[in-house]
Amino acid sequence: MKTENKYLISIIGPTAIGKTSLGITLANYFNTEIISADSRQFFKEMHIGTAAPTKSERAAAPHHFIQHKSILENYNVGAFEKDAIAKLDILFKTHDYVVMVGGSGLYVDAVTTGLDHFPEVDKNIREILNQQLETEGLASLQRQLKDLDLESYNRIALQNPQRVIRALEISIGSGKPYSSFLNKDKNNRSFTTVSIGLTAERAIIYDRINARVDSMIDHGQLEEVQSLLDYKDLNALNTVGYKELFKYIDGEWTLEFAISEIKKNTRRFAKRQLTWFKRDPETSWFDFNTDFKTVLKAIQNKK
């Protein structure tokens, strides 16, 4: 059941497009606070390489879920959903509006619509499926999924072995098709989400990404990565901007090549972000240079 006149303004879009700046402007306008839905900015050891809001930006408006965890902690989207909803329950007691800024699509969806809930299954199933992938190839897993869950076979990215294995392990472990658990039992939200997307022409997005990467390097990203070398195998650090520089530090790549790979992989990430966010027909999209009054009017018209 929705609480009357409580709105979550969700600012989405590709990396380096200006979401943080708009979020702060909106938070100041509505005299409210910001929650982050960027899964890379949760970790306090990763500041430069994740383009986390600066101290001055965080001082300009209260931020939550920024550098609140350590890379040594196990923090996932399920835990974030619970934490974020609990924080929103508190913030909505004193605010009619809260702003959410984030480029991690799954984490944004976890807050706005909730996650799909799957049953616990025997962990050995995944191990067996991984062995099958190695010995028999992806095609054998695809055929098995087609037999067990035709709907998932027709919908998921069949060339992605992780997706195929995930669908299979749930189907085998539960005795029910993976697809039967999708879009079921999601939590109804007590607030209304107003989704605002920022974008630009592809060439502009890429230029902004390249400029940001150069700025990160100039501001000490390599030194930050070097300080984390002992932890490079952690999942949190298996991400763009870190894994490439680890290869440079290990002597596999030149620094010039590592930086070019960061730019390339960030551009690919931005493309995936847009593909994910464009699925929602309720999002109002704006060029990143759109004046604030136009965006504000769109928000007010969504109420």
**Which CATH number goes with the domain that contains 154?**
1.10.20.140
Task: Name the binding residues for ATP.
Answer: 13-20
Q: Measure the CA–CA gap between 175 and 5, rounded to whole angstroms.
A: 43
Q: Measure the CA–CA gap between 137 and 299, rounded to whole angstroms.
A: 49
Are 146 and 289 members of one domain?
no
Task: Name the binding residues for substrate.
Answer: 15-20
Say if residue 73's pLDDT is above 70: yes
At residue 242, the pLDDT reads 98
pTM of the entire predicted model? 0.83
Task: Name the binding residues.
Answer: 13-20
Are 266 and 132 members of one domain?
no
Look up residue 58 and give its amino acid. R
Are 133 and 282 members of one domain?
no
The residue segments making up the domain with residue 128 are 123-181
At residue 155, the pLDDT reads 84
Contacts of 165 (CB under 8 A, 6+ apart): 126, 129, 130, 133, 141
Look up residue 266 and give its amino acid. T
Say if residue 65's pLDDT is above 50: yes
Domain count, the chain: 2
At residue 3, the pLDDT reads 55
Whether residue 1 is contained in a domain is answered as no
Are 240 and 102 members of one domain?
yes
Residue range 79-101: mean pLDDT, rounded: 97
Contacts of 136 (CB under 8 A, 6+ apart): none
- The three-state DSSP-derived secondary structure of 191-238 is CEEEEEEEECCHHHHHHHHHHHHHHHHHCCHHHHHHHCHHHCCCHHHC
User: Over pLDDT 70: what percentage of the chain?
Assistant: 97
